[in-house]
Amino acid sequence: MLKKDLGLLILILVVSATVAFINPRFLLPINLSNTMNLIGLYGIFSIGVGLVIITGGIELSVGSMFALLGVIFVDLLSTYEVNWALASLIIVITGLILGALHGFLVTRMGLQPFIVTLCGLLIYRGVARFYTEDATAGFPFGVTYPALQWLTTGRTLGIPHSFIAFIIIAIVMGIVLHRSVFGRYLFAVGKNEEAARYSGIRTKRVISSAYIICGGLAGLAALFLTLYTRSISPATHGNFYELYAIAAAVLGGCSLRGGEGSMLGIVLGTILLQVLQNLVNLLGIPSSLNFAVIGAVILFGVLADQQITRHGGLTQFFRRRPVPQAIPEKQG
Q: Which positions touch another protein (CB under 8 A)? A: 175, 179-182, 184-185, 187-188, 191-192, 194-202, 259, 321-322, 324-332
Q: Which helix (H) or strand (E) holds 160?
A: strand 159-160
> Residue 49 or residue 188: which is nearer to another protein going by CB?
188
**Whether 222 contacts 65, CB under 8 Å:** yes
C-alpha 166/C-alpha 161 separation (Å) is 8
Our CB check for another protein shows the closer of 178 and 230 to be: 178
* Cβ proximity to another protein, 310 vs 330, nearer residue: 330
Q: Are 198 and 210 in contact (CB under 8 A)?
A: no
Smallest separation (angstroms) from another protein to the CB of 6: 19
CA 123 to chain centre: 20
The CA distances from residue 86 to 74, 92, 120, in Å, are 13, 10, 25
User: Residue 198 Cβ, how far from another protein at the closest point, in Å?
Assistant: 5
Minimum distance from residue 330 beta carbon to another protein (Å): 5
User: Which lies closer to another protein via its Cβ, residue 140 or residue 322?
Assistant: 322
Minimum Å distance from CB 184 to another protein? 6
Q: Closer to another protein at the Cβ: 63 or 259? A: 259
**Stretch (H or E) spanning 130:** helix 113-131
Minimum separation from the CB atom of position 250 to another protein (A): 18
Q: Phi and psi for 159 in degrees, rounded to 5?
A: -95, 125
